[in-house]
Amino acid sequence: MVLLTVVLMIALLGVLVMQFNYLSGLDVLMATGARDSTEAFFLAQAGLNRAIRLLQDDKLADTEQSAAVDADGGRRQQVSSEEEETGYDGLDEDWAQPQSFTKLGRGEFIFQITDEDRKFNINLILEDAVDEVSAARTLAGGGDGEGEVEERTADGERRSQEIIDKDREARDELRRAEDTLEEKEKKEEEEIEIDQDSDEFLQLKVLLEKIRDAADEADGIDPFARRLFDTPAGTLDEIVDWFEDKPAPGPDDFERSGPIATIGELALLEGVTRDMLVGFPRREEIEVKPEEGELELIDPWAPQPFLGLRGYLTVYGDGKVNINTAPREVLEVMLQDNNDDQSNLADDIIAARDELPFERTSDVNDDEYLRDQILSKFLEKFKVNSEYFTILSEGRVGNETEEGGFEGTTARIRAVVQRQENRIVICYWRVEE
C-alpha cells in the first residue's frame, strides 16, 4: 500500500509539473508576443515620424527655392507665382522614392509615402463640397485658410499661439453646434441632388470603367475582377445613393447626406467587397529599395497588383490633380473631352514628366505637341504640388528566414497627413492588421 501510494503521488506530481511547465511556457510566449507587438508598434510610429520629417524637409527645400538672391545687392526677390512659392512635388523627389529598412533597437521599420492629390476626389460630384471640406480640414488643423499661424493684437503686440488656439477651438465648437442644429432642422426639407450630366459625374463613371479594365489586366485575378466590375454603373448608382441618403453615425436616427469623410465608407455600400476597395493582394506591399549591387529581376509572369478603388479615389484635396504624380487612368479622365479617348495624351504627359517634372502647370506649353493637344481649360484641373499624403509605415521585430522571408511580429500604421505652411496635421490614423 505504501509503494502504491508513493507511485500515485509521483504520477500526480509529474502531471502537475508538466502542466506548470506548459503554463509557464505559455506565459513566456504571451509576454514575448506582447513585448514584440509593443515594440513593433513604436517602430511603426518611428517610421511615421521619419516620413513626416521627410515631408517637412521637402517643404523647407521648396520654400528656400522660392526666393532668389540678387547678385548685386544681395536682396531676396520673392517670386510672384503661387506654384513657384510652393514648389513642385514629383515622383523624382526623396519622399516618393522606395525606402530601405532602418534598424532601430531589436527591430527595424520601413515606410512609404503616396500623395493623395494624385487621385480623383470622389466628392467632386457634389457642388462646392470639395472647397467646404478642404477649408474645414485646414481650420481644424490649426490653419486659417491663408497659411497664417500667428496673429497680432490691435496695439501691435503678438499674442501667444496657445491663446489663439483656444480662441479658435471655442469658435469652432460653437460653429459646429450651430451647424448641427441647423442641419437637424433643415434635413427633412433639403435633399442633395447630384447633377448626373456634370463633367465630374461623367469623369467618375469613366474612371470606374477604367478601374475595371485595370483589374482585368492584372494577371491571376480575372475571375473576381470581372465579377466585381462587370457593372460599374451599378456601383456608381450605389455611390450616388450613399451621397444622397446615408445614415448618420451615433444614436441619432436622422439621415445625414453630403460628402463622405473617408474612402473607407465605400465598404458600406451594397456589392462593394473588400477586394474591390483595397485591391489585390489585400496586404499592400511596401516598395523596397534594392540593396547596392543587387540585381532587380522582373518576372513577366508574376501576378500584377490591382490597386482597387482606394488607389484611384480620394476624399482629400481641392479637386485638382497633381500632374506630376497622377496615374495614367486619372490623367485620362481629367483630360476627357466630348468622350474622346485621351490615353495617348496621358502617355505623352507621363513621358514628358519622367524626363523633366513640371515645375508649374504652364510648363506644359513648353512642349510643342502638348501645347497643341491640351486646351487651356484642362490646365485649371491640374496642379504641380500636393497637400495631402498617405503614409504607410511598418515596424517589425524578428528574424530573416533562409528563404528570404520574415518570421516575427509586425505592426502597420496608415495615416493621411495634410502639409500646411508651417506644420503637418494628421487627418486620418489607423493601425492595420
- Give a yes or no: residue 17 inside a domain: no
- Give a yes or no: residue 75 inside a domain: no
In this predicted structure, what is the pLDDT of residue 213? Answer: 76
pLDDT less than 50: residues of the chain: 68-81, 145-160, 184-185, 187-189, 221-223, 231, 251-255
- Give a yes or no: residue 25 inside a domain: no
The span from the CA of 167 to the CA of 390, in Å, is 30
Q: Please give the tally of structural domains in the chain.
A: 1
262-318 residue pLDDT tens: 888 888 887 777 777 887 765 667 878 777 666 666 665 555 677 888 889 999 988
Question: For residue 228, what are the domain limits?
Answer: 94-148+161-290+302-432
In this predicted structure, what is the pLDDT of residue 70? Answer: 41
The span from the CA of 6 to the CA of 208, in Å, is 78
Give the rounded distance of the alpha carbon of 159 from its chain centre. Answer: 35
- Give a yes or no: residue 253 inside a domain: yes
In this predicted structure, what is the pLDDT of residue 254? Answer: 44
- Give a yes or no: residue 19 inside a domain: no
- Give a yes or no: residue 323 inside a domain: yes
Between the alpha carbon of residue 37 and those of residues 34, 107, 151, 428, the distances in Å are: 5, 11, 44, 22
- Give a yes or no: residue 51 inside a domain: no
Give the rounded distance of the alpha carbon of 216 from its chain centre. Answer: 24
316-368 residue pLDDT tens: 988 899 999 999 889 988 887 665 556 678 888 888 888 888 888 888 777 76
The span from the CA of 379 to the CA of 96, in Å, is 24
Q: Are 426 and 48 in contact (CB under 8 A)?
A: no
- Give a yes or no: residue 391 inside a domain: yes
In one-letter notation, the amino acid at residue 98 is: P
Helix or strand holding residue 113 (H, E): strand 107-115
The answer to whether the peptide bond before residue 223 is cis (omega within 30 degrees of 0) is no
In this predicted structure, what is the pLDDT of residue 345? Answer: 81
The span from the CA of 215 to the CA of 149, in Å, is 45
Identify the three-state secondary structure at position 99.
Answer: strand
In this predicted structure, what is the pLDDT of residue 124? Answer: 85
In this predicted structure, what is the pLDDT of residue 146? Answer: 46
Q: Residue 202: name the closest of 259, 240, 169 by CA.
A: 240
Identify the three-state secondary structure at position 27.
Answer: helix
